[in-house]
Each structure stands twice: as structure tokens, then as C-alpha cells.
Amino acid sequence: MEIRSEIPADYGAIHELTEMAFKDRPYAGGDEQDVIKRLRAVGALTSSLVAIDGDELIGQITFSPATNTDGSEPWFALGPVSVTPNRQSQGIGGALIRRGIAEIEGLGALGCILTGNPVYYRRFGFELAPDNVPERESAEYFMLKPLLGGPATGSFVFHPAFYGEV
């Protein structure tokens, strides 16, 4: 398996993969594939990495800028991250997460936020952050991983592309 940055030829496969991976998930909004497209369209896709096995795209992860109301920066949002359903639980998502976190650390990230399955993301150092949850997100699934900064004191805001506002 190879992990690399996305290229334009990957866009269609990323869309299909993301749609399949998030279907019927309780923490999913159902438009995760469109979030990636909107982030890309407005230049807010900080990083999009893909996992390739042979000539098949089997995983993808997205990082975008996030805002903290305390004014500290930079913060990044992880998500979505997708793995083709028949290849889940094989370490592909984990490899994408570790590589992506390393990339944003290289950009000076104070930390990373996400909305997702707490059972899964705790293994990567994310913790539920009810004191920092964005207005439109569920405290049940909102998580935070401090990186180069201390604890976050404000609440967060995902990029407007997450909500179709661009």
C-alpha cells in the first residue's frame, strides 16, 4: 500500500469511496463526499491523502483549517477519512491518520478536531471535548487532539464548506 497526496485523477474514486464508507453511520451527515468537493473548490483542503493498493484507491483522509474562538491558530479538522468497506479493520485508516497528523504537525498545528466515532479515534489520542464543541456539532462525537499547543480554551468552528455555506 502506498500513501500519497491526491491528484485530480483520484477525485471520482474519492467521491465514491467516501459515499460508500459513510453510508448509514450514526455520526455521518450523509454529505461527507460533498464536503471534500466543497473544500477543494474553495482552496480549503489543507491535505488530502489517498491510500493506493496496486491501481485501486482504498482509502482517503481530509484535513482542513478550523477556527478556535480563543483566537489561537493554526488548528485543523480531520475528516472525512474513508476506507473501502471490504478493506476496513486492516490498518489503512490508521495509517492515513498517522501520516496526516504528522503533516499538520509539520505545519505547526496546535491541534486537530473531528466529529466521529469516539471508540475508534481514542486510539490516536483524540478525546471527547464537550467544552469546545462547535455550535452545530454533537458533544457525543466531537473530539480534540492537542498537538503543539496546550489545551484549547475556546469553542471550535469547522470550515463553512462542512455546512455547504461556500
Write out the E strands in the chain: 2-5, 47-53, 56-68, 75-83, 111-115, 127-128, 142-146, 156-158
The total number of residues shown for the chain amounts to 166
> Is the pLDDT reported for residue 151 higher than 90?
no
Confidence of residue 25 (pLDDT cuts 50, 70, 90): low
> Is the pLDDT reported for residue 117 higher than 90?
no
> Is the pLDDT reported for residue 22 higher than 80?
no
C-alpha to C-alpha distance for 151 and 70, rounded to whole angstroms = 11
Burial class (CB in 10 A: 0-12, 13-18, 19+), 39: buried
> Is the pLDDT reported for residue 27 higher than 60?
no
Its pTM surpasses 0.75:
yes
- In degrees, to the nearest 5, what angle opens at C-alpha 96 toward C-alphas 73 and 125? 60
Q: Higher pLDDT residue, 162 or 46?
A: 46
Burial class (CB in 10 A: 0-12, 13-18, 19+), 54: exposed
Domains identified in the chain and CATH numbers: 2-161 (3.40.630.30)
52-76 confidence digits (pLDDT tens): 999 999 999 999 999 999 999 999 9
> Is the pLDDT reported for residue 149 higher than 80?
no
Question: What per-residue confidence (pLDDT) applies to 23?
Answer: 75
* Weakest-pLDDT range from 60-64, 78-82, 87-91, 161-165: 161-165
C-alpha to C-alpha distance for 143 and 94, rounded to whole angstroms = 16
Count of alpha carbons within 13 angstroms of residue 131, beta-carbon side = 6
Residue type, 101: I
> Is the pLDDT reported for residue 119 higher than 70?
yes
Mean pLDDT, range 115-137, rounded to an integer: 92
Burial class (CB in 10 A: 0-12, 13-18, 19+), 20: middle
pLDDT averaged over every residue in the chain:
92
